[in-house]
Amino acid sequence: MDGEPLKPREIPRIPGYRIEGVLGRGATGTVYRARQLSVDRLVALKVLHEDLVGANGAERRLQREARATARLAHPHI
């Protein structure tokens, strides 16, 4: 899936980022390869599936996942 081509209607618009491809898809969302424009760095962005936004604490779980991931420090991630 790395760099999987995206159809224009599939590309989310997220201010400050340029989406470059799909890294993976799962039960709760899609992870995109993106460039953070303000600092010109590659990042992974996870976007919840629309049907989960506001449902059953999915947003809180995503925030908790993001905080845990942000604490990781390793040259290969």
* pLDDT greater than 70 at residue 5: no
* β-sheet bridge partners, residue 36: 17, 41
Which of 8, 27, 29 minimizes the C-alpha distance to 19? 8
* pLDDT greater than 80 at residue 7: no
* pLDDT greater than 90 at residue 14: yes
Interval 37-77: pLDDT, tens: 999 999 999 998 888 887 778 888 888 988 998 899 888 87
